[in-house]
Amino acid sequence: MSTLILTVRGLSAKIAGQQVVEDVSFDVPSTGVTALLGRNGVGKTSTIKGILGLIERRGEVTFYGDSDGDGDPGVRLDRQRTHRIVQRGIGYVPEDREVFSKLTVAENLRLAERDANPRREFVAELFPDLVARSGQLAGTLSGGQQQMLSLARALINTNRLLLVDEPTKGLAPIIVGEVADALEEAAKTVPVLLVEQNLQVVRRLAAGAIVIEGGRVVHTGDATELLDNDDMTRRFLGVHAEAGGQTPADSEATS
């Protein structure tokens, strides 16, 4: 078994007093993409937000990002405030992009820079479109461009872990491919915990898969194995394994 970047033990989270995540435990390996799967409303986004402390949470979240070697005792994230957690090297790409619509593209990026040496060239290479539109208000970008900006905001810093929440949601098929390309490029250097409804994207990027149902983890294992198993896919995700080969537009209808 490879080394871990993050372990989650008994995580529970609440939104407005309502339990949305209950006793969730899983590991995120220190390389590659790990997919966090499950039907809509099962608590995937809340799990991510709970890790980041964006919602009220309980449980043990340990981050092994401070050294590359074994024997890293890890740091507990579950008592820290969000900005401290992020400063440890955790990049976040939220659901629905959440770009600052009244700030320009350049300002959105400038706000996100927290390293002494932000990777501006890397981001400019990855998303040339954003460079061309740097003076434009983010609110006037298309959905796909906003998603690129949201990704760029995370990638402009050197992270030790990326938390990416439904990056292809509501995007046109051709854009989905571009987002997946960018993620694949990013995943070469940093582990990713990815929430994703589009199983085609999951099949392409993810090594491991964690399935959540009703706020709890119900399955952990290899992503391809899961997607190849018609029975499990239907049971856990409510779609046929064929969905792995379906177009994103179709998978949108099931999400």
Partner 1 sequence: MSTVILLLITGLGLGALYFLIASGLSLIYGLMGVLNFAHGSFLTLGAYIGWEVARVLGADNWAVFIASVLVGAVVGAAFAAATEFFLIRKLYERHIEQVLVTVGLALASVALFDGIWGTDPIYVTGPSWLGGTTEILGASIPNNRFILILAAVLVLLGIVAFLKYTRYGLIIRAGVENRSMVTALGIDVRRAFTVVFAIGGAAAGVGGVLASSYYGYVSSGIGGSLLIFAFIVTVIGGLGSLSGAAIAAALVAVLQQFANFYLGGTGDFVVVLLLAVVLLVRPSGLLGSKA
What is the DSSP annotation of 52-66?
HTSSEEEEEEEE--S
* Alpha-helical segments (H) within 63-104: 82-87
Tokens of 217: 């983890």
Least distance in Å: CB of 51 to partner 1?
11
Using CB under 8 A, pick the residue from 57, 133, 153, 203 that binds partner 1.
153
Using CB under 8 A, pick the residue from 98, 185, 225, 228 that binds partner 1.
98
Q: Is 195 in the site for partner 1 (CB under 8 A)?
A: no
Tokens of 235: 């049971």
Of residues 138 and 202, the one with the C-beta less far from partner 1: 138
Q: Is 107 in the site for partner 1 (CB under 8 A)?
A: yes
Of residues 94 and 215, the one with the C-beta less far from partner 1: 94
Q: Is 193 in the site for partner 1 (CB under 8 A)?
A: no
Interface pattern 76-95 for partner 1 (x via CB under 8 A)? -----xxx--xx----x-x-
Tokens of 164: 């990416």
Q: Is 103 in the site for partner 1 (CB under 8 A)?
A: yes
Q: Per CB under 8 A, which region of 71-79, 101-109, 218-226, 233-241 contacts partner 1?
A: 101-109
C-beta atoms surrounding 163 within 10 Å: 24
User: Side by side, which strands form the sheet with 206-213?
Assistant: 90-93, 161-165, 192-195, 33-37, 206-213, 216-222
Q: Is 122 in the site for partner 1 (CB under 8 A)?
A: no
Which letter, b or e, does each residue of 124-154 get, where b requires 16 or more Cβ atoms within 10 Å of its Cβ? bebbeebeebeeebbeebeebbbbbbbbbbb
Chain positions contacting partner 1, by CB under 8 A: 52, 54, 81-83, 86-87, 92, 94, 98, 100-103, 107, 110-112, 114, 153, 157
